């Protein structure tokens, strides 16, 4: 299509070099400023993962988003003035989704790239995708996200509004683009269906084995824990969405064989199209027998992250699977929260109370571990082996009898 590359570039994608960004959040009715500040902390980490350094953040209280600029016109002018005075700023990132029209108006006023949270996440996914499956999933999500925003991204249509006599080549051009994007979506869905069928065939070949899936918020240490449990070399990095591709390893603890799967991390406000596109990856979670829900206990909002993951698991109808809460990074928790004068007995009491409180709040057994220092990992292996044994007895009793 004539403007396919330009439209796609405008809808998503950050430069390869480090860029400087301003981030924007809105406190809507029913939200607290503290909550939005937490969201912006995460947005800043997302920006960093994508290669952008945040230099300023703006927060505004609104009853509802403005149809034209999302924030109020006064706040939009304030942001534009800041950007104008700081020439190194090349983008403004909003913590909520924007329409194509809003992006267009804001770019016209601020003279820099305007990116929303979903576009940022899609950009990170596009960078991280390695396999054909992940690349297809990301491209499908990008096209689905772009389609309803095409009209707003076509600035020249502003001059071609009206009725009879105003249906010019621009209207034809955007319809052509829509058709091309729809055709692309259709092709990507077919490609993904083929990949899904291949993945389903592979999963069927593993039917006689108990399957354990690592799930959790992004950047909680799932891949590091996977490496420790399997003695393998899954890519792990202190960035959001360090790995997108599902990794499956066969293990045997105390002669009990099972499959362990590392899955893509969850996040708040995850774009719906991304969940939809990654359904084959999430099928690994749906078809698993046991869930190891990994949590970063050192994160100040770990309880909110737990609820986010539990909400997504409920959407996938996986909330009733046998689940072990694994609170990782206990070493970092101590470093950030313990007084240097707290003795060993005091530490044990604090951690015992923490564990009991978590189990009471979330209704699941909890373990405190550190994948970094390997603390309590042997206890985790033993508990996991016990859960796998029980699952074999319930699901594959004829195999359990062979031991």
Residues 6+ apart with CB under 8 A from 105: 68, 69
Q: Are residues 47 and 134 in the same domain?
A: no
Return the higher-pLDDT residue of 301 and 18: 301
Is a pLDDT exceeding 80 seen at residue 232? no
Across 250-274, average pLDDT: 82
Q: Are residues 374 and 228 in the same domain?
A: yes
Radius of gyration over alpha carbons of the chain, in Å?
24
Q: Quick check: is 13 in a domain? A: no
Q: Quick check: is 230 in a domain? A: yes
Residue 253 buriedness (CB in 10 A; 0-12 / 13-18 / 19+) = middle
Return the higher-pLDDT residue of 30 and 233: 30
Across 281-298, average pLDDT: 87
pLDDT tier, 271 (very low <50, low <70, confident <90, very high otherwise): low
Q: Are residues 318 and 194 in the same domain?
A: no
Nearest to 177 by CA among 185, 189, 165: 185
pLDDT in tens, 70-112: 999 999 999 999 999 999 999 999 999 998 889 989 999 999 9
Q: Quick check: is 9 in a domain? A: no
Can you give the pLDDT at residue 60?
A: 96
Q: What is the CATH number of the domain that holds 329?
A: 3.40.50.300
Q: Quick check: is 136 in a domain? A: yes
Q: Are residues 239 and 268 in the same domain?
A: yes
Can you give the pLDDT at residue 6?
A: 37
Instruction: Return the structure tokens found at 60.
Output: 């505004």
Can you give the pLDDT at residue 13?
A: 47
pLDDT tier, 10 (very low <50, low <70, confident <90, very high otherwise): very low
**Structural domain boundaries enclosing 190:** 129-158+170-205
Query: Do 91 and 52 meet the contact criterion of CB atoms below 8 Å apart?
Result: yes
Q: Are residues 233 and 109 in the same domain?
A: no
Is a pLDDT exceeding 50 seen at residue 165? no
Detail the residues annotated as belonging to a binding site: 216-223, 241-245, 262-265, 328-331, 370-372
Domain tally for the chain? 3
Detail the residues annotated as belonging to a binding site for Mg(2+): 223, 243
Q: Are residues 189 and 287 in the same domain?
A: no
Can you give the pLDDT at residue 134?
A: 76
Q: Are residues 336 and 220 in the same domain?
A: yes
Nearest to 56 by CA among 43, 69, 70, 73: 43
Q: Are residues 120 and 196 in the same domain?
A: no
| Mean of all residue pLDDT scores within the chain | 81
**Domain's final residue, options 185, 205, 225:** 205
Q: Quick check: is 183 in a domain? A: yes
Q: Are residues 174 and 119 in the same domain?
A: no
Q: Are residues 83 and 229 in the same domain?
A: no
Return the higher-pLDDT residue of 230 and 150: 230
Detail the residues annotated as belonging to a binding site for GTP: 216-223, 241-245, 262-265, 328-331, 370-372
User: Model-level pTM greater than 0.85?
Assistant: no
Can you give the pLDDT at residue 163?
A: 41
Q: Are residues 391 and 271 in the same domain?
A: yes
pLDDT in tens, 195-213: 777 766 665 655 578 999 9
Q: What is the CATH number of the domain that holds 59?
A: 3.40.50.11060
Q: Are residues 70 and 201 in the same domain?
A: no
Can you give the pLDDT at residue 70?
A: 96
Q: Quick check: is 165 in a domain? A: no
pLDDT in tens, 340-392: 778 888 888 888 898 899 889 888 888 999 999 999 999 999 999 999 999 99
Can you give the pLDDT at residue 245?
A: 58
Is a pLDDT exceeding 70 seen at residue 4? no
pLDDT in tens, 32-54: 998 899 899 989 989 998 889 99
Q: Quick check: is 31 in a domain? A: yes
Poorest-confidence range of 67-76, 227-236, 303-312, 319-328? 227-236
Across 228-255, average pLDDT: 69
Q: Quick check: is 3 in a domain? A: no
């Amino acid at each position: 299509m004539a403007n396919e590359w330009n439209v796609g570039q405008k809808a998503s994608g950050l430069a390869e070099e480090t860029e400087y960004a301003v981030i924007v959040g809105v406190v809507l009715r029913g939200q607290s400023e503290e909550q939005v500040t937490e969201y912006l902390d995460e947005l800043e980490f997302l920006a960093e993962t994508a290669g952008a350094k945040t230099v300023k953040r703006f927060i505004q209280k609104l009853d509802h988003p403005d149809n034209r600029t999302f924030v109020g016109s006064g706040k939009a002018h304030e942001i534009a003035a800041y950007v104008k005075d700081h020439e190194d700023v090349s983008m403004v990132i909003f913590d909520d989704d924007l329409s194509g029209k809003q992006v267009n108006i804001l770019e016209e006023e601020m003279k820099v790239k305007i990116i929303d949270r979903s576009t940022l996440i899609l950009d990170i996914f596009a960078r991280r995708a390695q396999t054909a499956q992940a690349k297809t999933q990301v491209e499908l999500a990008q096209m689905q996200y772009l389609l309803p925003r095409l009209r707003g991204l076509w600035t020249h249509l502003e001059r071609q509004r009206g009725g009879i006599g105003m249906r010019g080549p621009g209207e034809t051009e955007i319809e052509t683009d829509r058709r091309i994007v729809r055709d692309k979506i259709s092709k990507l869905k077919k490609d993904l269906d083929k990949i899904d069928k291949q993945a389903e065939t592979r999963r069927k070949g593993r039917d006689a084995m108990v399957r354990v899936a690592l799930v959790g918020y992004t950047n909680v240490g799932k891949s590091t824990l996977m490496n420790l449990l399997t003695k393998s070399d899954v890519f792990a990095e202190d960035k959001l969405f360090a790995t997108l591709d599902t990794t499956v390893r066969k293990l045997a603890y105390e002669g009990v064989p099972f499959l362990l799967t590392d899955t893509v991390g969850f996040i708040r406000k995850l774009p719906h199209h991304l969940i939809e596109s990654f359904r084959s990856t999430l099928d690994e979670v749906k078809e698993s027998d046991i869930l190891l829900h990994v949590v970063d206990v050192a994160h100040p909002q770990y309880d909110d992250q737990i609820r986010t993951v539990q909400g997504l698991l409920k959407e996938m109808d996986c909330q009733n699977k046998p689940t072990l809460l694994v609170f990782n990074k206990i070493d970092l928790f101590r470093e950030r929260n313990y007084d240097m004068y707290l003795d060993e007995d005091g530490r044990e009491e604090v951690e015992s109370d923490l564990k009991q409180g978590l189990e009471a709040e979330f209704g699941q057994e909890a373990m405190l571990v550190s994948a970094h220092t390997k603390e309590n990992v042997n206890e985790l292996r033993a508990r996991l082996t016990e859960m796998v044994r029980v699952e074999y007895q319930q699901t594959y009793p004829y195999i359990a009898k062979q031991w």
